[in-house]
Structure 1
């Protein structure tokens, strides 16, 4: 099993010149599939100050059949847009190439700086080589990494995170969910603890305590997935390994 991470400037695709028209917008490809010759895609775009102009630009793109605004949060400047595209051979969707070669995305692809960023799982080097050759036919490809994923560690970590979420009390889940929905963890923050308390029956101190306890449980479960230097228990300093 191999993890193949790459960037591609997808020639002729909307992703190639998105940032030429909208320099600040970043997009994530939530899903994409091909149906009766039409590619159906859902994207989440951030830093969208004018949703109508953004959707109009997508509608006018040469590979698009139709672009439709699904939802728009003006406060967060976030838009969900559904796309239908009639791709020709030289602008085939990247996901088609990946799935045809049995390479499966591990996270949604992101679009920044005129490039699509993908991370996929493949069975062997032959699959990766074949996929890479086909991708080069539709754009310029830059490989970020090719490595054996730590699947056991990843699966164990995900199981622990899931258990940590399940271990939250109903009140902790309620307060944490509201904080996420209201943009407490956005950058910049969409609200503060006082704002959250106004929507709750508890006071500011209690809401803050619910958040801290929830965060502690989840972060302790996430910690083993992070690659970081170990700390010396006696000094509290990071240990340095000799070269």
Structure 2
């Protein structure tokens, strides 16, 4: 398997001019697929104010390749929104994901959009498939390779199993408090809430909530520890 990380300025796509219209906003492409010739895309937008989200949705719908843009949800506490897009692409503005999947290159994490670039991390079975995907992507815009290497999958797989086991070993209460902390933005940078804010959802108080988090973090970080010894990407 080959791990291929790259960035692309996708000409004619909304990602190319997104930050020109909304300089502080960031977007992640959660998924995108074709239905009867129409591309349906779900994106998450962050760092966008509540009063700005409607303008952002309208801007996306007005983009030449888009038919509709619909706000699915918005959380004002974390300035995060989920938007569903439907658009008709041609061969010159085809979604990057279509090119990748057509060449058996599969994203490992959602692509991010920042400063006109789409950032992608994918896995492919062979160098030949990466080469074909790269050639087709160059027809869509400017492509820069960030890394290209064969990862140590055995160690990565075992590490992920240990992390999964650590999560399964959390108590029901630890898992509940940890999930709440993630949802409320306790681990965001900067943090969107503090321990006392989480404690408002828990009658046991700040110290108990903090102890649940510390124990959860300790179990998960001990499982992650061995993975930190893996060689860095080139």
TM-score normalized by the length of structure 2: 0.95
Bigger radius of gyration: 1
CA distance in 1, matches of 2:146, 2:200: 46
Contact 2:78 2:184 in 1 (8 A): no
Give 1:161-180 correspondences, 5 Å limit. Answer: 161-180=163-182
CA distance in 1, matches of 2:133, 2:226: 32
More deviation in 203-212 or 159-168? 203-212
Task: Give the corresponding residue for 1:184.
Answer: 186
More deviation in 183-192 or 93-102? 183-192
Give 1:1-243 correspondences, 5 Å limit. Answer: 1-49=1-49, 50-227=52-229
Where does the alignment leave 5 or more consecutive residues of structure 1 unmatched? 230-243
Contact 2:37 2:88 in 1 (8 A): yes
Q: Which deviations, in whole Å up to 9, do the C-alpha atoms of 1:109-167 show, x marking residues without a partner?
A: 11111011111111111111111111000111000111001111111111111110000
CA distance in 2, matches of 1:123, 1:171: 41
Q: Which deviations, in whole Å up to 9, do the C-alpha atoms of 1:20-75 show, x marking residues without a partner?
A: 11111111100111111111100001011111000000000001010100001112
Task: Tell me by how many angstroms 1:227 deviates.
Answer: 4.1
* Superposed structure 1 runs of 4+ greater than 4 Å apart: none
The alignment yields a C-alpha RMSD, in angstroms, of: 1.2
Q: Aligned to 1:5, what secondary structure does the other structure show?
A: strand
More deviation in 177-186 or 133-142? 177-186
Q: Aligned to 2:211, what secondary structure does the other structure show?
A: helix
Q: Aligned to 1:187, what secondary structure does the other structure show?
A: coil
